[in-house]
Amino acid sequence: MAHAGIASRRKAEEMIQAGLVTVNGRIATIGDKADPASDDIRVEGKRLHATEKMRYIIMNKGRGIVSTTDDPEGRKTVIDLLGKGTTERVYPVGRLDIDSDGLVLLTNDGDLTHRITHPRFGCEKTYKVLVEGHPEERILNKWRRGITLEDGKTAPCKIKVLNTERGKTWLRIVMGEGKKRQIRRVADQLGHPVKRLTRTHIGPVALGSLKSGQTRELTSAEVKSLMKTKPQPKKKKK
């Protein structure tokens, strides 16, 4: 399913577990083997074909837009912004919370999605963040080393002060691994709440001059640069 561009590996497993996938008329289970060339594989009743064109789209998501394929509360999603011009089904890679703006990647390439989202590949995401106040260097060093949240300790990250303005500070934060709403939660814990958060890069791919709501196709060079991401060596247990 990932190779066919139907969904990411994780999403494909969820769909199989939910009974939405059949092979030759039988509900599939995790671990089943099937060949699209010889087996009748259907996802939500639609025949799977492995020849769907791969699409790679970046978007400048505005605040108030949900970075999912649909929303039970009826809020506008990144898929809604694409409109009807994209015939292939694409999916947002990872998430960018509704209060944040910036770069979102949408694709039907399950392998690329896996490389960007799985922590072992350490694909870096870069954010430009405006926080309340002027955090001291000792505070920033704590942030860089990692902060313990209710769901565990955050991985080390890179932080650079870009500039300050009246009562606020702009930071550039680069993370290879992140928890849900991590930047906002850490900033709150350290006493410097986030006022604005924009994702500017996913790996080497930059938001550039895209205006809010605009999209563009990735170049072949950009796709290749993302695919070059390699698994990080496993840390040795002490």
Residues annotated as part of the active site: 97
The residue among 55, 111, 112, 56 whose CA lies nearest residue 88 is 55
- Please tell me the distance from the alpha carbon of residue 91 to that of residue 68, in angstroms, as a whole number: 8
> Minimal CA–CA distance to 187: which of 155, 124, 139?
139
Dihedral sign for Cα atoms in the order 37, 43, 47, 48: negative
